Structure 1
Amino acid sequence: MTDIDRRAVASRVIRLLGGTLLMGVAIAALVRAQLGLLPLDVLHLAVSQHTGWTLGGAFIAVQATLLMTCLPLRIRPGTGTVAAAAIPALACDVVLASMPAPQNLAWKLLLFVTGGVLFAVGVALYLSAQMGTLPRDSLMLELHRRHPRLQPAPIRVVADATCLLTGWLLLGPITAVVDGTVGPATLLLAALLGPGIAFLVRRIKRYPTCSPHHRASS
């Protein structure tokens, strides 16, 4: 392995670890902001409250269940699949254990914006590492591969809507709104994060060590 190869591998590993760590911190920040969670995290929180597990434990349980769905479809999990399920879950639990919920609306808004930005950066980093995706993302990509007419964007919308509705009903529609799990910010996150992550992935891939053609062109 050449020095260029080693730098490329190191860059991918750093992006994977750094990105998944940021995802966990971001999820915890959004939970503490109490202005609305991402659709998938609404489901994670619902599972957490119904089982008594931590949010991280519920995160891992849901992703493990989805992973079992991937295996019969011959979707191979990668290193990133495991990392993106385990590291955010652990980081989220650690941060939640040490971060109190702010009472001031201004601090809640700041925490919400910070969480949203960190999550977009984290997901972009982990995706750009190209070492495997979360089971949900793998299922969406496989569905698109098998049925090219189904574009990833609408598939994601349907998946997010399903997770949101399921989690909302499990938590109780009124309770979920009152405690800040579901709110206008949930729709804002769902609408803005997709384009934001796509933009960041394109920017990250401009760096030489992020390009799969770097070795050939060097």
Structure 2
Amino acid sequence: MASTQVQVDLSLLSMRFRPLARFPQLVGGLLLYGASLALMVRADLGLSPWSVLDQGISERFGVSMGAASALVGVAVLLAWLPLRQRPGVGTVANVLLIAISVDATLALLPPVEGLALQVPLLVAGIALNALATSTYVGARLGPGPRDGLMTGLHARTGTSVRLVRTSIEVCVLAVGWSLGGTAGLGTVLYAVAIGPLTQACLPFTAVRVKKDLCP
């Protein structure tokens, strides 16, 4: 009987620390995500909609790309309040680590010129972004601010996720472009490729858990 109790206690302890074991995957995914954004910035052929906004804010107000990303992330988190979304550790880490990573990568990676370098850099950035997205989402430690906004609006309005996401990204893209962000071929390629690529990566990165005692 005592042995059974010890086994149960150890099992509960293991379940309690499962999220902690997934934390390195979360951190790695977010750092890679920031690096992927920096690759697309250096390619200078068009960014993802949210990065167009970040870059526009960076250009208009003279802050770094990472700082702009963090400011947008905090603003989006404030928009969660009326939507009654609950952040996780991954949500906070998303704001901080992506900002640090994108600025660090931009500092290390100089601008490039010529399509022979720009196109491969763009493709690498999009592919790495998909892998990074599936990695941090697969850790299951809380949605990013932008993902939570999408799911929150979907839950509150009953509108399809596809329509909510498209509407948000069109608005974000328009505002970012008006502020001076770069939209172009890379923006279109990102929109077409990121979904299928992320879906293809998820089976290899998603953590399969039955139930965690702490989120």
The counterpart of 1:36, out of the listed 18, 33, 46, is: 46
Match status 1:162 vs 2:159: no
Could you say which residue in structure 1 is the equivalent of 2:90?
80
2:151 is the alignment partner of 1:141: yes
- Corresponding residue for 1:182? 183
Instruction: State the 1:202 CA deviation.
Output: 3.5
1:159 and 1:14 mapped to 2: Cα distance? 30
Specify the alignment match of 1:111 in structure 2.
121
Q: Distance in 2 between matches of 1:183 and 1:42?
A: 10
**8 A contact 2:19–2:141 mirrored in 1:** no
- Give the stretch that moved more between structures: 33-42 or 137-146: 137-146
Alpha carbons of structure 1 residues 32 and 125: separation in structure 2 relative to 1, 3 Å: same
Distance in 2, matches of 1:143 and 1:199, equals 26
Q: Distance in 1 between matches of 2:35 and 2:178?
A: 26
Q: Does 1:195 align with 2:196?
A: yes
RMSD between aligned residues:
2.0
Query: What's the secondary structure of 2:165's corresponding residue?
Result: helix
1-structure distance, mates of 2:211, 2:82 = 35
Residue 135 of structure 2 corresponds to residue 125 of structure 1: yes
Q: Distance in 1 between matches of 2:210 and 2:132?
A: 23
Deviation at 1:97, TM superposition (A): 1.1
The 8 Å contact of residues 83 and 153 in structure 2, kept in 1 or not, is answered as: no
Contact 2:32 2:128 in 1 (8 A): yes
Distance 1:8 1:62 in 2: 30
**Which residue identity is paired with 1:201?**
L
Could you say if the C-alpha distance between residues 104 and 7 of structure 1 is closer, same or farther in structure 2, counting changes exceeding 3 Å? farther
**How far did 1:7 drift?**
7.5
User: TM-score, structure 1 length as denominator?
Assistant: 0.85
CA distance in 2, matches of 1:195, 1:146: 27
Q: Give per-residue Cα distances to partners, 1:58-116, cap 9 Å, x unaligned.
A: 00001101111112332121111111111011011011112111223222111111111
Using the TM superposition, give the Cα deviation of residue 4 of structure 1 relative to its aligned residue in structure 2, in angstroms. Answer: 5.3
Percent identical residues: 35
- Runs of 5+ in structure 2 lacking a partner? 1-9
2: CA distance, partners of 1:204 / 1:6: 21
SS at match of 1:85: helix
Q: CA deviation at 1:140?
A: 1.1
Q: Mark the CA change 1:157 to 1:62 in structure 2 (over 3 Å): closer, same or farther.
A: same
Instruction: Write the distance in 2 (CA, Å) between the matches of 1:200 and 1:192.
Output: 12
SS state at 1:37 partner: coil
Counterpart secondary structure, 1:76: coil
Equivalent position SS for 2:106: helix
CA distance in structure 1 between the partners assigned to 2:137 and 2:58 by the alignment? 26
User: 38-47 vs 11-20, which deviates more?
Assistant: 11-20
Instruction: Report the 3-state secondary structure (helix = DSSP H, G, I; strand = E; otherwise coil) of the residue aligned with 1:131.
Output: coil
Which residue in 2 is equivalent to 1:21? Answer: 31
How many residues align? The count is 202
Contact 2:84 2:152 in 1 (8 A): no
Letter aligned with residue 139 of structure 1: L
Gaps of 5+ in 1: none
